[in-house]
Amino acid sequence: MTVRVELRERGGRARWVADIRVRLPSGALTRERRDVPGNPSSKRAAMRWATARERELIRHGVEDRRPAAPTIAAFQDDFLRHAASKGRKPSTLENHRCNLKHHIVPLLGRVRLNAVEPAHVARIWGIDVQSATKNKIAATLSAVLNSAIELGHLDARDKPRIRFLKQPRTTAPFFTRAQFEDLVAAARQLGPEHLCITLLGGEAGLRAGEIRALHWRSVLADTQALIIEHSEWHGHVGTPKSNRFRRVAVPARVIEALAQLERAAPTVLARDDGSMITASWLRHRLHKALDRAGLPRSGPHALRHTFCSLLAKEGASAAAIRNLAGHSNVSITDRYMHLAPGEDAAAVRLLERAARQEQARREGDERDASRDEQGEPPRERRGPRLVSGR
């Protein structure tokens, strides 16, 4: 049994916090951590209260003073409304809704928010899905608990710590330069819409939602650049991923391909009636170009992977790729940097040069030794060459 007190600053005020661990008459070990009432002015006074509280716990046991919190199942609608009020994107809300419906509520729906423990979190790791999906489910659970803290259903100290699974680094599929040029040629034969889709994804690095929401006012033909400020998802037009606006310099043929399109709608790509295109509309035209080029079908994101991969292979820096692609984290850009030439090869050449210098020095020492044995004068050793000031 231990009783400790420590001074903690919270909300700009210093308060004494008691940490009491006792073994009850039933043999159960319990721990209580709470602020010392009255906020005494000295550690001795705080310790007196903590000791008295320890005796009270031993005599009368633990009284659950926590208010009854709702279960996860009962709280899910409040959580989604709270997340929407904080400006979460519709795609994020839909992911949370699916994770709750298909995984979290069936597993932990009856568990109250202030009773979630690490053992409950461990059930997520037993779900028969990929590890990346498990992390997304755990992220939804963490968001639910954070929302419960903000709405007063859970104390922050009672939230279990969630450690996400480590993900292996994988190489995203992409087209080689020759394959991409074949795709560009096939798209040009099919028409300007197919060509623009190919070039916006493969030479501008736009996400599918950014292609669908690209406005003509965001095309800067005089400076050969695009301003990425919108993204579309199931009819919802908002900011790009992670709210990262960016300016993307593009090759001249991207601007030339866009010039072939009609300006009958606010967006660069539009249906015949001027309405915004859908994900299936975009994917259908990309698949037609891939079929004509003899390449396997893939989604629009493969073009974005191609954009980043070809930049890395041409020697672009990680910072430049991150800015052009709008990556929120440098670890995302690192997926492509193994393709970058120069750095690893230059490091190996340093080792080779050092090995050649050492080998030449040893061969010179061996020649000097053989001359000494034959009575010949040693070779003249020259010092460092001085450079004239002229």
Do 226 and 94 share a structural domain? no
* 33 and 95 in a common domain: no
323 and 240 inside one domain: yes
**Partners of 19 in beta bridges:** 4, 33
Q: Hey, CA dihedral for 352, 356, 362, 366, is it positive or negative?
A: positive
Last residue of a domain, one of 129, 158, 187: 158
How many domains does one find in the chain? 3
Same domain, 182 and 310: yes
User: Could you tell me the sign of the dihedral formed by the alpha carbons of 221, 226, 229, 234, in that order?
Assistant: positive
**Calculated CA dihedral for residues 330, 334, 339, 344, nearest 10 degrees:** 100
Residues 297 and 326 in one domain: yes
Asked if 112 and 199 sit in the same domain, the reply is no
CATH number of residue 261's parent domain: 1.10.443.10
Q: Phi first, then psi: what are they for 194, rounded to 5°? A: -65, -40
Question: Does residue 345 fall inside a structural domain?
Answer: no
- Whether 81 is covered by a domain: the verdict is yes
**What CA–CA distance (Å, rounded) separates 33 from 42?**
18
Asked whether residue 210 is assigned to any structural domain, the reply reads: yes
Residue 331: closest CA among 95, 99, 86, 166: 166
If asked whether residues 259 and 283 sit together in one domain, one would say: yes
CA distance 268 to 261: 8
Task: Answer whether 301's CB lies under 8 Å from 325's CB.
Answer: no
Q: Do 149 and 262 reside in the same domain of the chain?
A: no
Domain boundary among 158, 186, 202: 158
Q: Are residues 125 and 25 in the same domain?
A: no
Identify whether residues 291 and 325 lie together within a single domain.
yes
Which tokens belong to 289?
Answer: 């170009």
Is residue 247 a part of any domain in this protein? yes
Structure tokens at 324: 């052009």
Question: How far, in Å, are 107, 120, 136, 175, 358 from residue 165 at the CA level?
Answer: 19, 16, 10, 30, 46
> What domain range is 34 assigned to?
2-60
Does residue 53 share a domain with residue 76? no
Spell out the residues 6+ positions from residue 240 whose beta carbon is closer than 8 angstroms to its own: 207, 209, 210, 228, 229, 230, 231, 246, 326
Q: Are 48 and 36 in contact (CB under 8 A)?
A: no
Residues whose CB is less than 8 angstroms from the CB of residue 74 and which lie 6 or more positions away in sequence, other chains included: none
Ordered per-residue pLDDT tens for the chain, 390 residues: 789 998 887 667 788 888 888 887 777 778 888 888 888 888 999 999 989 988 888 887 766 555 678 999 999 999 999 999 998 999 999 999 999 999 999 999 999 998 898 899 999 999 999 999 999 999 999 999 999 999 989 888 788 889 899 887 766 788 999 999 999 999 999 999 999 999 999 999 999 999 999 999 999 999 999 999 999 999 899 999 888 899 999 999 999 999 999 888 999 999 988 899 999 999 999 999 999 999 999 999 999 999 999 998 888 888 888 899 888 877 788 877 767 665 566 667 777 888 888 888 888 777 777 766 666 665 555 544 444 444
Could you tell me if residue 168 is inside a domain?
A: no
385: in domain = no
In whole angstroms, give the CA distance from residue 10 to residue 365.
71
Angle between helices 192-202 and 252-259 (to 10 degrees): 150
CA distance 77 to 105: 12
Distance, in Å, from the CA atom of 361 to the CA atom of 363, rounded to the nearest integer, reads 5
Is the distance from CB of 321 to CB of 311 less than 8 angstroms?
yes
Do residues 196 and 330 both lie within one domain?
A: yes
Give buried/exposed letters for 351-370 (b at 16+ CB in 10 A, else e).
eeeeeeeeeeeeeeeeeeee
Q: Is residue 239 part of a domain?
A: yes
Q: Is 6 helix (H, G, I), strand (E, B) or coil?
A: strand
Q: Is residue 376 part of a domain?
A: no
Last residue of a domain, one of 158, 188, 207: 158
